[in-house]
Structure 1
Amino acid sequence: MLPSPYTETETNRMTLAFFCLGGLELLGALDSEISDHNKKDWIEWIYAQQIVPSEDGQNDAHCGFRGSPWSGRSFDSNKTSCEYQHYDSSHIANTYTALLNLLLLGDDLSRVDAKAIVKTIRCLQQEDGSIAPTQGSLERDVRFIFCASAISYILNDWSGLNIEKTIGYIKTLQSYECGIGQSSGEESHGGSTFCGVAALTLMGKQQEGLLDKAKLIKWCLDRQSTGFQGRPNKQPDTCYCFWIGASLEMVDAFDLVNHDNLRGFLMSTQTQMGGFGKDDKSYPDVLHSYMGLAALSLLGEPGLQTMNTSINLPTAGVDRLKNNSVFWK
């Protein structure tokens, strides 16, 4: 069960779990704080959220991982799709974090229905190259392109994604400043800039997809005062210290960041009760606590593991991915 302040985010419990597990891994405390028995419990809970193809094959657009068993309905592949598809569907963001969680916990992904997930990505991609998070959703933005790219990278199967259309869509998201907006025509934003740059990096298509790398770097650097703000005229925020810091890392420009100012800001957002808030006046939460650790990792903070910034995973998880005999060939 989630603590009461988090109950409104129940449908994304999988992603909240990643912030906790990923934070512990960055601290080098995952193995000491979670027993092997509890790791197995975690793994079984994660697999219990997997939506696999039904016998009639009509829920191909719904496969992957849901964020939690919020509907109270157990998945039954013997049911026809019309009996549950509107209530029991995967979500592309939770599929992404479910795979990260399994890797962090040492799972070999052998029970992941990779073919079904890849087919779902194919169903979720729109004609303009954008990605919907679930079948029938009206949301279309670069967060879900990033998730689809990361999933394809982890499963080592890009056949579900039309890369040419995806690159074309990301190009439409770049503003006159050459930062990346969440949707076409919107202003550049720190989080969506990370998602776009990371997707292109995972695809090996930075050169083709970034309209002006130098202007992108300038826009990112201009977001720093002490920490990083997500947009012009906003206050610095712990999470953007990672989103923009990681974007600069991926385009080989993180050395241009004022490291002392960034570290000083992050230390000011760490609270007396533990964890990080969004700023020095906020209570801590699991998202900003993970992002604070991830940003400090970019700075090479002693005692923290380093990050693979493109998939937002501590290097131990990346090593498990690359050593995975089932998917990494």
Structure 2
Amino acid sequence: MDSPDFLREKHVRYFKQCLKLLPRPYTGGDTNRMTFVYFALGALDLLGVEFDKDERDSIVEWIYAQQILPDPQDRGRVCGFRGAPFMGTHSRADGNATFHPYDGAHITMTYTAIQCLLILRDDLSRVDRSAITAGLAKLQQPDGSFAPIQDGMESDMRFLYCACAVSYMLNDWSGVDIDSAVRYISDSRSYDFGFGQGPHLESHGGSTYCALASLWLMCRHDTLREYVAATTKWCLSLQDQGFHGRQYKQDDTCYSFWIGASLHLLSAGHLINDTANIQFLMTTQNKMIGGFGKYQTSLPDILHSYMGLAGLSLGEFPGVQSMSPALNLTDATVKFLASEAVTWKRQ
């Protein structure tokens, strides 16, 4: 039975509304719209909500319209998915596409687009696997990290994780130099045994999750085991009631997932004080409209609302579906990925 403190129906309404209309402050993040869709769909999946066929088909078509396909006149194009149709071009259901020289894929949007398609039980038959993996190879940097876009100005642990998750979901690692990626992760381990976004950078809960999940996805469990004792201790030091992402910061809803998932990847989830963490998350719910805020006094936002549910899932909270910490998807969706319903599993 659900806890009386858990506002499930309000959370369902909140995320359904987020799929249709977001508040004005989100307009500045339109290039990240694919990720917003993932947070909403992922949350509804965690809540066990089923989508009707018309709604499902509509969202699936919108996602495929954001796929950047190879341009016959530009063989250097990085393919994948973009965050929104801000360039005005689109890929049609018949496989034909319009092209714009400045319209390109983003590695995070590719990651979240594939996740969304899996949540909606699409067979991924229209995903151009070979083009995406070829694009990943162009985004990997000499130090093993990944840039998010072609000619990108930044590269760090976030995008390395996205490359690993995409490769895992597509079951094709030809676009990743795994040994180079593992070296980058090892070089990014800090003196306190957490991981930074890159070498010599401060340990952070988000980048620690990305590092550990990447190792798990790359099947480098031998390297992962090397970090268990010391990194587990660092992660546990970040729990007061909930979790925070860096030393001397206050507890923050999203780290219930980032740090909680890291501990599960280290086979140390049993060391989490789940009771205290759940009590904290119950205080960050918005009692009027649903969703979760960053802090107890914060208004809800779509990122922290999703991460709050993910944190509850890791704590085996009643009424929230179980999930895979490495892929950040429900176990049911990961089971679908492994099934012959996915096109290339039938080939």
Task: Bin the TM-score by the shorter chain.
Answer: over 0.9
CA deviations on 1:238-267 (whole Å, 9 max, x unpaired) are: 001100000000110011111111111011
Out of 178, 181, 184, which is 1:163 matched to? 178
Question: 1:279 and 2:299 equivalent?
Answer: no
Label 1:23 to 1:325 Cα distance change in 2 as closer, same or farther (>3 A).
closer
The structural deviation recorded for 1:319 is 1.3
Q: Is the 8 A contact 2:156 2:197 kept in 1?
A: yes
The aligned amino acid for 1:98 is A
- The yes-or-no answer on 1:72 pairing with 2:88 is yes
- 1:326 lines up with 2:346 in the alignment: no
Aligned runs of 1:148-159 on 2, under 5 Å? 148-159=163-174
Cα distance, 1:106 vs structure 2: 1.1
The 3-state SS of whatever aligns with 2:344 is: coil
Q: Which runs of structure 2 are paired with 1:31-110 in the superposition (5 Å)?
A: 31=50, 34-60=51-77, 62-74=78-90, 84-85=100-101, 87-110=102-125
Deviation at 1:194, TM superposition (A): 0.5
> Contact 1:14–1:97 (CA<8 Å) still a contact in 2?
yes
| Residues 223-247 of structure 1, C-alpha deviations (whole Å, 9 max, x = no match) | 0000001000001100011000000
Tell me, in whole angstroms, the C-alpha distance in 2 between the residues paired with 1:107 and 1:16: 19
Alpha-carbon distance in 2 for matches of 1:78, 1:229? 44
Partner of 1:306: 322
Superposed CA deviations along residues 172-207 of structure 1, whole A, max 9, x for unmatched, are: 110011111012111100000000000000011132
Matched, 1:17 2:33: no
- Alpha-carbon shift at residue 320 of structure 1 (Å): 1.1
Work out the CA distance in 2 between the residues paired with 1:238 and 1:46.
28
SS at 1:327's partner residue? helix
Say if 1:28 and 1:305, in contact at 8 Å, map to a contact too. yes
Equivalent residue, structure 1, for 2:198: 183
Q: Could you state the TM-score of these two structures normalised by the residue count of structure 2?
A: 0.89
- Displacement after TM superposition at 1:75 (Å): 5.5
Q: Does 1:204 align with 2:222?
A: no
CA distance in 1, matches of 2:251, 2:97: 51
Whole-angstrom CA distance in 2 between matches of 1:206 and 1:143? 20
Match of 1:3 in 2: 23
Q: Distance in 1 between matches of 2:226 and 2:246?
A: 19
* Structure 2 letter corresponding to 1:41: S
Distance 1:233 1:142 in 2: 23
1:44-86 CA-partner distances (Å, limit 9, x unpaired): 00000000111124243x200000001223459777xxx733x
* Aligned pair partner of 2:265 in 250, 254, 267: 250
Q: Is the 8 A contact 2:124 2:342 kept in 1?
A: no
Runs of 4+ in 1 over 3 A off after TM superposition: 73-79, 209-212
Q: Check conservation: 1:92, 1:147, Cα contact below 8 A.
A: yes
Count of equivalent residues = 321
Q: Percent identity?
A: 49
Partners of 1:19 and 1:325 in 2: how far apart? 22
d(CA) in 1 for partners of 2:123 and 2:147?
Answer: 28
Q: CA deviation at 1:303?
A: 1.0
CA distance in 2, matches of 1:74, 1:258: 47
> What is the SS of the residue equivalent to 2:160?
helix
Cα distance change of structure 1 residues 56 and 321 upon mapping to structure 2, 3 Å threshold: same
Structure 2 segments unaligned to the other structure (5+ residues): 1-20
Closer, same or farther: CA 172–210 of 1 in aligned 2, 3 Å = farther
1:93-139 Cα deviation digits (max 9, x unpaired):
00000000000111000000000000000000011111000011111
Report the Cα distance in structure 1 between the residues aligned to 2:298 and 2:22, rounded to whole angstroms.
Answer: 20
In structure 2, C-alpha distance between the alignment counterparts of 1:194 and 1:327, rounded to whole Å? 29
Question: Counterpart of 2:230 in 1: which secondary structure?
Answer: helix
Aligned residues: CA RMSD:
1.6
1:262 aligned residue: 277
Output the TM-score relative to the length of structure 1: 0.94
2:304 is matched with which residue? 288
In 1, the alpha carbon distance for the partners of 2:276 and 2:84 equals: 39
Query: Cα gap change, 1:89/1:2 in structure 2, threshold over 3 Å: closer, same or farther?
Result: farther
Q: Is the 8 A contact 1:75 1:88 kept in 2?
A: no
Q: Indicate if the aligned counterparts of 2:67 and 2:90 stay in contact, CA closer than 8 A.
A: no
Q: Distance in 2 between matches of 1:328 and 1:217?
A: 36
Are the aligned partners of 1:248 and 1:254 in contact in 2 as well (CA < 8 Å)? Answer: yes
Provide the residue aligned with 1:222 in structure 2.
237
The CA deviation at 1:147 is 0.4
SS at match of 1:58: coil
Q: What's the offset of the Cα at 1:289? A: 0.8
